[in-house]
Structure 1
Amino acid sequence: DLDDALREIREIGEQRRGRVVVAASPTVACRLMPQVVAACGQQFPFITMGLRDDVQSDVIRKVKSGEVDFGVVIGPFAADDLLSERLMTDSFCLVSRADHPLASQQQVTWRDLDGQRLVMLDYASGSRPIIDAVMSEHGVSASVVQELGHSATVFGLVEAGVGVSVLPWLALPLPADTSLVARPLVPRAQRTVEVVRRRDRSLSPAAEAVWGLIRQLPARTEDLR
């Protein structure tokens, strides 16, 4: 009982208690944040962590307005009123049906996308501007036939034969019992995963503790596969 009382007093003194709310882009929220939520519950039992999975524009808006303590977004990211710190790197893959001609290749070049019908995430995704820029750099002329907000819908349309897709590896794993495959796109194009917070506001000790947990994530998505 004395040990419990002393630990609680110490937690009060360090203020590692209270509620911390973090907003994250969907692929980040799905693949990375569950382990952070679990680790927070184990290491900081007096902190209640709330997770918000929002499209990138909403994550940024909520960080700026103070609705959340900080956010986890897709980069490279820069804003004068926000501080950002890079956590890890991610790259892109082609997702297609197993019977698609490109699926027979061990890796797919960006030029191989020329003339393909693409099912893509829309511009609410932090990845879409990066993908468009890389395709433009490689002179890819492809037809975007569908633009969706969620990767699960993209998977369904690709499996139905509507087209192929370019997705970050963090959008995987592929759904179970499907005919879909993923192939690396080369040359490797990177995006980053970054934590962002307001420049004019310090984090509470509780939020600092959660920020520290997030910084322990793997440095590359390859470490997650």
Structure 2
Amino acid sequence: MLLRHIHYFLAVAEHRNFTRAASAMHVSQPALSQQIKQLEENLGTRLFDRSGRSIALTDAGEVYARYARRALQDLDAGKRAIHDVSDLSRGLLRIAITPTFTPYLIGPLVRTFHERHAHIRLQVEEMSQERMEERLLEDDFDLGIAFADVHSRDIESRPLLEERLALVVNRDHPLANRQQIDAQTLGTLSLVLLNTEFATREQIDRYCRQHALHPQVMMEANSVSAVIEMVRHTPLASLLPAQVAQERADLLALPLTPTELTRTAVLLLRKDAYRSAATRAFIALAGPLKRE
């Protein structure tokens, strides 16, 4: 059995069509079909059900696909291990991050990491936590920065810091002279919030339900930067990490009282994954944040 057999098998499993899989793998459809036939003969079982209008994995195929994907992940990790340089004179670090951490957290981390390890290439990508966990399991990233609510048992989390959400307003807002905001006042406000695709919005909605609050959500956006601009240019307030306002002279962060809205930021890592020297260095750098 050759490695290409596994690649062809997984392509058919993904596309559920021999023609599309062959196109994706840049081979002819007859050649791909022959490779799948050889694989099935080698394993002594049918991997695909070809009786319907579309191709489907058999039970044996479903099981084999899980192990085949893991085998390719391990082989890729082996390649990285071979080329990994322990003195950090070269390498690649792939980081996924949830959008609410981008405005204030990733910048200082990347700055310090680059100052210490200038020859390490960094790839940083924003995404939802659900998608992040999926792609960590697919070995598309070395680590992620997200929240403590981990969904997969194959992902481990390491605490970074406790984050506090606050009412963020511009300096012309009627509440700008307040030192803090009580729950009763919060329930009367008109807000601009991140939309429901964000874990932050889920946490805000949960907080409001727990305190029987019913603020009016007048605007929604799918990025933190858009929410910030709406707060800057309208009388609306928002609930965002307090650090976001601390980075801008034209915004104020008013603490919530008597119960703060807090959450834990964590590093996410696939369990049992290969840890490159760059990954280990970033973990060591980020670790002290939890004590700040």
Q: TM-score range by the shorter chain?
A: 0.7 to 0.9
Are the equivalent residues in 1 in contact too, given 2:168–2:242 (CA < 8 A)?
no
Q: What is the aligned counterpart of 1:58 among 121, 131, 150?
A: 131
Q: What is the aligned counterpart of 2:262 among 173, 176, 190?
A: 190
Q: Deviations over 1:173-215 (max 9, x none)?
A: 4645x4x432111222211110001124232232112221121
Q: Deviations over 1:68-113 (max 9, x none)?
A: 1110012343431200011100111112243434333210022311
In structure 2, list runs of 5 or more residues that go unmatched.
Answer: 1-82
Are the equivalent residues in 1 in contact too, given 2:245–2:252 (CA < 8 A)?
no
Note if 1:211 corresponds to 2:283: yes
In terms of Rg, which structure is larger?
A: 2
Residues 26, 172 of structure 1: CA spacing in aligned structure 2 closer, same or farther, 3 A cutoff? farther
Aligned residue number for residue 24 of structure 1: 97
Higher helix proportion, which one?
2
Q: What is the aligned counterpart of 1:114 among 160, 167, 187?
A: 187
Q: What is the aligned counterpart of 1:169 among 242, 267, 286?
A: 242
Take 1:127 and 1:75, find their aligned partners in 2: how far apart are those partners? 12
Q: What is the aligned counterpart of 1:14 among 86, 98, 101?
A: 86
TM-score w.r.t. length of structure 2: 0.63
Take 1:70 and 1:166, find their aligned partners in 2: how far apart are those partners? 27
Are the equivalent residues in 2 in contact too, given 1:117–1:145 (CA < 8 A)?
yes
Are the equivalent residues in 1 in contact too, given 2:169–2:232 (CA < 8 A)?
yes
Are the equivalent residues in 2 in contact too, given 1:111–1:138 (CA < 8 A)?
no
Take 2:247 and 2:220, find their aligned partners in 1: how far apart are those partners? 18
Percentage identity across paired residues of the two chains: 25
In structure 1, list runs of 5 or more residues that go unmatched.
Answer: 1-10, 221-225
Task: Classify the secondary structure of the residue corresponding to 2:275.
Answer: coil
Take 1:38 and 1:72, find their aligned partners in 2: how far apart are those partners? 16
Are the equivalent residues in 2 in contact too, given 1:72–1:196 (CA < 8 A)?
yes
Take 2:151 and 2:184, find their aligned partners in 1: how far apart are those partners? 29
Which one has more relative contact order, counting CA pairs under 8 Å at least 6 apart? Answer: 1
Are the equivalent residues in 2 in contact too, given 1:121–1:149 (CA < 8 A)?
yes
Task: Classify the secondary structure of the residue corresponding to 1:215.
Answer: helix
Size of the aligned set, in residue pairs, is 208
Are the equivalent residues in 1 in contact too, given 2:100–2:200 (CA < 8 A)?
no
- AA in 1 matched with 2:283: W
What is the CA RMSD across the aligned residues, in angstroms? 2.5
- AA in 2 matched with 1:107: Q
Task: Classify the secondary structure of the residue corresponding to 1:67.
Answer: coil
Are the equivalent residues in 1 in contact too, given 2:169–2:238 (CA < 8 A)?
yes
Are the equivalent residues in 1 in contact too, given 2:168–2:238 (CA < 8 A)?
yes
Are the equivalent residues in 2 in contact too, given 1:74–1:127 (CA < 8 A)?
no
Runs (4+) of structure 1 moved beyond 6 Å? none
Q: What is the aligned counterpart of 1:47 among 92, 104, 120?
A: 120
